[in-house]
Amino acid sequence: MDYLQQIKEAEAFIKSKYPESVPLGIILGTGLGNLGNQIEVDLELDYKDIPHFPLSTVESHSGKLVFGTLSGKKVVAMKGRFHYYEGYSMKQVTFPVRVMKFLGVKTLLVSNACGGLNPAQEVGEVMIINDHINLFPENPLRGVNYEDLGPRFPDMSDAYSPRLIQIALEIGEKNGYKLHQGVYAGVEGPNLETPAEYVYIRKIGADAVGMSTVPEVLVARQMGIEVFGMSAITDLGVPGKIHKISIQDVLDAAAKAEPIMSLIMRELVAQL
């Protein structure tokens, strides 16, 4: 069965359970799991029950597709995403974003946890993504191109919506939150970077580095979906501030950023 047929089968299954069109999609990465609990839930589907969906294998990602209402708007949210380092192909990693488009999603809000590279950043702070650098070894757009999914050579000059960035910055200012803006570098993982790699990634223009988001954004933009991205700074790759960290350290730092990220997401959704 070809990829487009798989997408359509997943769409048909989901629409048999939830026929409404949903204009807003949210990917709840590490640091935004609690926002999922603020959605007034109409329906939850386990990934394992949706045809052709991969299964999330990361302990901090629960693996459910949630339909409901947030800030008065209909949303579909991924509680748990897929990563290239889990062994999935890029087409599997981005499969849910393809399905979201077929469910009616026009705007995608993406979150993640990342390592900060800019000396101005501190652990527990939040960065609005205004651009990215793709350092993954595989591209989700590689292979057969289906016109139903978008153009072969999609433009990425505005991968992250300037309109949504401006709204988010205004929300942050109104609420007295310190928000950074910057470039996110996407890498394969799952290991954290060496000190030399942090220096390299900083030198090529990144303010933060992480193991997700870029593939999903590439696919969303190919399909004409407007994108907003936000990162929780969970550790620092700044010379002199690098130290050993555990997954628990990452989760603790993400929890510190979560109230800020949740408020921005809720108020952003309210204005869409």
| DSSP output for 144-182 | PPPGGG--SS---TTSS-HHHHHHHHHHHHHTT--EEEE
| Number of domains making up the chain | 1
Pick the closest to residue 259 from 160, 165, 124, 127 (CA basis): 124
CA distance 52 to 82: 13
CA distance 92 to 207: 27
Beta carbons of 188 and 137 less than 8 angstroms apart = yes
Which residue type sits at 248?
A: Q
pLDDT of residue 30 exceeding 80, the answer is no
DSSP letter assigned to residue 135: -
Pick the closest to residue 13 from 61, 68, 69, 53 (CA basis): 53
- What CATH number corresponds to the domain at position 218? 3.40.50.1580
Q: Would you give the distance in Å from CA 104 to the centre of its chain?
A: 18
Structure tokens at 69: 């209402």
Task: Indicate the SS3 state at residue 5.
Answer: helix
What would the pLDDT profile of 192-203 be if each residue is shown by its tens digit? 999 999 999 999
What would the pLDDT profile of 89-138 be if each residue is shown by its tens digit? 999 999 999 999 999 999 999 999 999 999 999 999 999 999 999 999 99
Count, residues in the chain: 272
Count Cα neighbours of 173 within 13 Å in the Cβ-side half-sphere.
6
Residue 108 forms beta bridges with which residues? 25, 227
What would the pLDDT profile of 39-97 be if each residue is shown by its tens digit? 999 999 999 999 999 876 665 546 899 999 999 999 999 998 899 999 999 999 999 99
Write out the residue range of the structural domain in which residue 217 sits: 3-271
